[in-house]
Amino acid sequence: MYTPVNIKPLFAIAALLSGLLASPASATEGSIKVHNPWIPEAPPVTKVHAAYMSLENSSNHEITLSGFSSSTFKKIEIHQIKSNQGMMKMMPLKELKIPANSRIEFRPGGFHFMLTGSNQPLRAEDKIDLTLIDSTGSKTTFLVPVKNSQDLSGVAHSKHHH
């Protein structure tokens, strides 16, 4: 079972040791906490993947996510699926505002990260790096495990509410 680890303290120590202490303008760094990230395993020929997780803004101010990167994928976008007059529609978002002291769930049928241009097939147990960049330039980097369908049976079922 994957336990989320906040790797931000390690980056802070590395920055301090190398003399690259963050300026006051990036005081929001570390305000995004990532919980239970996962990517469903797909056949090796799959060109588009999705990543799901819970993003928590533990600060007292709104945070706007405006950029994303990964060493595995060429392009990452936030998409939202909405129902409009009985039709499901997927819409890309240029940015995502996370209100102060709140959490946004990324799950099937709702918000998700659309991952395209993979430089490798994804297999269960792989861990993919993902970096979230907010509008101040602060970065949150973490690993997202790829899970097979057996690992997801309880997760996928618990996420669908009709």
Q: What is the mean pLDDT of each run of 10 residues along the chain (162 residues)?
A: 45 37 37 94 92 95 95 96 89 95 96 94 94 93 90 46 34
CA nearest neighbour of 120 among 77, 79, 78, 70 = 70
- Predicted local distance difference test score (pLDDT) of residue 30: 61
- Predicted local distance difference test score (pLDDT) of residue 152: 56
Q: Is position 6 within any domain?
A: no
Name the domain count of the chain.
1
* Residue range of the domain that includes 89: 31-159
- Predicted local distance difference test score (pLDDT) of residue 145: 97
Q: Is position 65 within any domain?
A: yes
Q: Is position 4 within any domain?
A: no
pTM, entire model = 0.74
End-to-end Cα spacing for the chain = 27
Q: Is position 21 within any domain?
A: no
Q: Specify the amino acid at residue 94.
A: K
- Predicted local distance difference test score (pLDDT) of residue 28: 37
- Predicted local distance difference test score (pLDDT) of residue 32: 92
The structure tokens 């405006």 sit at 66
SS3 (DSSP) at 98: strand
Q: Is position 99 within any domain?
A: yes
SS3 (DSSP) at 120: coil
Residues 6 or more apart whose CB falls under 8 angstroms from that of 107 comprise: 52, 159
**CA-CA distance, 146 to 2, in Å (whole number)?**
10
Q: Is position 26 within any domain?
A: no
**CA-CA distance, 65 to 61, in Å (whole number)?**
13
**CA-CA distance, 92 to 94, in Å (whole number)?**
7
- Specify the CATH number for the domain of residue 94: 2.60.40.1890
Q: Is position 13 within any domain?
A: no
